[in-house]
Amino acid sequence: MESPADYFRRKLTDEELIAGLRSSPSHRVCLEAAARLEELTGVTMPKPEFTERLDELADERRNRGQ
């Protein structure tokens, strides 16, 4: 296992960064940052099931408000 110092010394890959951001679904800014990084890098990572459901609920709420 990596020590904390080694972890911070190495650069995260795009995939690791996106996966890390997606692991905090309660923070909408993290989800938006992950989506933007995917857009910019062309890297696509599968969304966790709970994140997909949150997106569906948000879409439903937006559609009801129109």
pLDDT (average), residues 14-23: 81
| Per-residue model confidence (pLDDT) at position 51 | 67
CA separation for the pair 62, 55 (Å, rounded): 11
Close Cβ partners of 51 (under 8 Å, ≥ 6 residues apart)? 22, 25, 31
| Per-residue model confidence (pLDDT) at position 8 | 67
Other beta carbons within 10 angstroms of residue 33's beta carbon come to: 16
Q: Is the pLDDT assigned to residue 15 strictly greater than 80? A: yes
Amino acid at 46: P
Confidence of residue 66 (pLDDT cuts 50, 70, 90): low
